[in-house]
Amino acid sequence: MSVSPDALLAILAMAAATVACRLAGLVLPARLATTGRLGRAFEAMPVAILSAIVAPLLLTHGPADALAGLVVVGASLRLPLTAVILLGIAAAAGFRALF
């Protein structure tokens, strides 16, 4: 099996871009000010990314999953993480059995 020079160059360029993005994610936040608006934005980023990944799945797989998602959001305002996870599993199973 042979790889063309163009394909090899593209693979190496993509690898370099991936490594650069990952290193920038490790280096840049430490050098930026973590107070004020930027600090709050950095604190909210994990929740925003997780929501962007999970929300489309909840809203496209039927009403049972959407209702379970609502239960989890409501529970997350009051309960610890382990309880929220267990409640989410139970809610998903329960709503799927109903629908």
Give dist(CA 77, CA 75) in Å, integer: 5
Domain boundaries, the chain: 1-31, 36-98
Region 15-25: mean pLDDT is 87
The model's pLDDT over 21-53, given as tens digits with 9 standing for 90+, comes to 888 877 776 667 667 787 788 778 888 888 888
The model's pLDDT over 69-84, given as tens digits with 9 standing for 90+, comes to 899 989 988 989 899 9
The pTM of the full predicted model, rounded to 2 decimals, is 0.54
Burial of 44 (0-12, 13-18, 19+ CB in 10 A): exposed
The model's pLDDT over 50-65, given as tens digits with 9 standing for 90+, comes to 888 888 888 888 899 8
